Structure 1
């Protein structure tokens, strides 16, 4: 699975060393790993089960900027544009507020109830906050039924737009 995220307030030198306030990936311009949460993620896995591409927008790591994720030639069903453009940073619940962004419950509180790393857990009040504002986005790690989208492999291109 691959990830795309927006980084903000970045400053890099000519050698590509520096940092970003949000979404930093090890102090380098060209990321080779994950960005530091909180960040809005576009996730995708191409040519998977039954020759389908699987893709989503995830708020599991929190929210920093609005995003749309769009197949450029949708073919119906679960192959259609999705977006998360709500004012999440402005409405973020107090315990999740971080300057300029909305953090995630796992990073903030830790524990199985919020991180869902072992046993299956359902949504919490915090994940429901994200889901109400962005119904197509993952709001907690096991939010598959309403948040995973598919398109036929090999015939679909995708566009991710930040701050649409």
Structure 2
């Protein structure tokens, strides 16, 4: 059985084999490698199935496995952090919240800033291609890496294992409600809202959308990520039928960054 491993401050393991081998040959395992609970969220791209009702709780140092569809699937995953029940009986998270008042996101997107894993599974003519990436275009809230072992083609380790909450520039910091801890790091677009930093309107083309000082903060710390809308500095992996992966012992991300 072959597999693909991702890490979201936690780790995600995705087992991929050739589609003709079996109709149940794709398993996604999410492993929380942090000493606190996180709430992974999953949003499919348009036309694709919602997996695991879009989200669930994952206690510290545990994992959760579930089958993927037998046909091509694409979407994104991220970690929701600092989540809790609300006084009115709802549910909310300090970062990555999908605003459903539930642990289930049901296909909804999450609030930014959030570190995103972008996945395309069962691609190619033989349905055995897996390409993946980690994006900081919408900011950062948790460490995340993706790696593959013994696959065919391009199967590099990608992502960000660094704790950027501790080093986030002041203008990009997101504080908790008490104003005591940094819980996320904004993108330049979210912090300043200009067309240039958001790569929109006249800056929406490949020619006009460029790296900025904000995106370079993320790129220098985590070069194997995408840090602005037209970032082409890191090639998209195209990994075919990877073998089972071993968990990478990256430093666990800090839950919060302490206020100065």
Deviation at 1:62, TM superposition (A): 0.6
Q: CA deviation at 1:75?
A: 2.2
Higher Cα Rg, which structure? 2
Query: Is the contact made by 2:75 and 2:120 (CA closer than 8 Å) also made in structure 1?
Result: yes
| TM-score for the superposition, normalised by structure 2 | 0.54
Structure having the larger proportion of residues in helix: 1
Q: CA deviation at 1:68?
A: 1.7
TM-score w.r.t. the length of structure 1 is 0.83
SS of equivalent residue, structure 1 residue 139:
coil
Deviation at 1:74, TM superposition (A): 3.5
Matched residue count: 159
Structure 1 residue 162 displacement after superposition: 9.7
Equivalent residue number for residue 62 of structure 1: 139
**Aligned counterparts, 1:114-133, within 5 A:** 114-117=197-200, 118-120=204-206, 121-133=209-221
**SS in structure 2 of the partner of residue 25 of structure 1:** coil
Mark the runs of 5 or more structure 2 residues left unpaired by the alignment.
Answer: 1-73, 176-181, 254-260
Q: Are 1:30 and 2:130 counterparts?
A: no
Distance 1:77 1:93, change over 3 A: farther
**Greater RCO structure (CA 8 Å; 6+ sep):** 1
- In 2, Cα distance between the equivalents of 1:112 and 1:49? 36
Find the counterpart in structure 1 of residue 13 from structure 2.
none
Unaligned runs of 5+ residues in structure 1 are: none
Q: 1:144 corresponds to which residue?
A: 232
Shift >4 Å, 4+ stretches: 157-162
Q: Distance in 2 between matches of 1:104 and 1:69?
A: 21
The equivalent of 1:112 in structure 2 is 195
